[in-house]
Every structure is written in C-alpha cells, then in structure tokens.
Chains A and B, each alone.
Chain A
Amino acid sequence: DTGVSQNPRHKITKRGQNVTFRCDPISEHNRLYWYRQTLGQGPEFLTYFQNEAQLEKSRLLSDRFSAERPKGSFSTLEIQRTEQGDSAMYLCAYPRPLLTGELFFGEGSRLTVL
C-alpha cells in the first residue's frame, strides 16, 4: 500500500495517439504533484495542485499536456498527440503529513510511445 494508486501502470501507444493517466491518493491530501522520469534520470517536476487549483506548471509541460484535479482528490494527466520523446515514467506524489518537504511517490505509470 503506497498511499497512491496510479493507473494504468503501463501504457503502450502509437505516436500521435492520446493517453490519460490517473492518480488516486488513498486519503485526502491538499497537495498533489506530477513528476516525469526518463530512463537513467532523476524525477523532473511537471506540475502540482493545491486542492483543485493547478498552481505551477513546468516548462516541460507543453501544450500537448494537460492536468486536472476536478474535486481536489484524484488527478488526471493527459498527453495529446504523443511523441516518442514522451516515453517515460509518470509519477504522482504527495507531501507526507507532518513532514515538510518529503514527497511520497506512487508506483508510476510507464508510457511507451512507438
């Protein structure tokens, strides 16, 4: 039990298709983060939410990417017109309660764009 459920765990798609990933925290968290991790690299920040408000977006998040958190609980990350460079692990995370700074990551959704 990681405290965060991510689906699908693995998605293989053809270039140009749209994909959507979902993150469901087990319990309520005010903040929710999306990170991307490519092979051999550290996680890179994409965006984060405070409740349902999207407060910051990285320059990595091009116009083809959109994230939502409609009710301040689960979140979705959609990638339109996927490119091979989008192949990566997409990680959802939340801050641990009472521990300022620590991020607790979900198991991630691995995207492979052919």
Chain B
Amino acid sequence: GENVEQHPSTLSVQEGDSAVIKCTYSDSASNYFPWYKQELGKRPQLIIDIRSNVGEKKDQRIAVTLNKTAKHFSLHITETQPEDSAVYFCAAPRQGAQKLVFGQGTRLTINP
C-alpha cells in the first residue's frame, strides 16, 4: 500500500522568508497529491493540490512541485506571514482503495 513520509516534522522561519516542506510516496501509480493546513483545534483544510500530469502549480504565495521520477512532492510558501503558522500535511491516494494516506505533519512556526 501507499506510504507517505514527510519532512521536517517542525520548521521555524522568520516572517517574510520562504518555507519548504517535502514528502515522498511509495506508489508510482499515485496521481493526486494534496496539501492540507490544520490550525490548532480546527479541521484539516485543503490549501493546494497537484495532479500527476503537471510538475508545478502555484496559488499566490503557495506552490507545489512534483517529481514523479523521484516520487516526491514539495510545498513552498513564500513571503511567510504569522497566519501561516499551522501544521501542514501532505497526502497521496492509496491505489485500489478510495482513501488518502497522510504524512506525519510539519509544524510550521513563523517568527515575527
């Protein structure tokens, strides 16, 4: 089945700097890679996703890149702001099963 590894587990950056979170997956047939943001006490919310037919997708300050050969994808946040502080999760679908497998999460802290 699909295995998703996420790094780093914690990340602290200065406000205005960039943050990068990386995930690797094991199933080469996976074709959909979402990123979720979870604030304290709240539900996980989708912030961006990418499908395997593209290598990069951008939405304002956030972007996701996908390397299918290496089986890894990354979340990039530029010009970080205090409200970006949260836990971020990557995920990938488990083929043959209708579900997402999540990474372990990255706690991002933006220091003012």
Contacts and interface: CB of A to CB of B under 8 A. Distances in A.
A101 B99 contact: no
Interface stretch (B54-62, B64-72, B74-82, B101-109): B101-109
Interface residues of A, number: 23
A43 B89 contact: yes
A91 B45 CA distance: 12
B10 to A, nearest CB: 10
A99 to B, nearest CB: 8
Contacts of B46: 102-104
Nearest to B99: A45
Interface of B: 6, 32, 34, 42-46, 49, 89, 91, 93, 97-105
Interface of A: 2, 31, 33, 40-45, 48, 50, 55-56, 91, 100-108
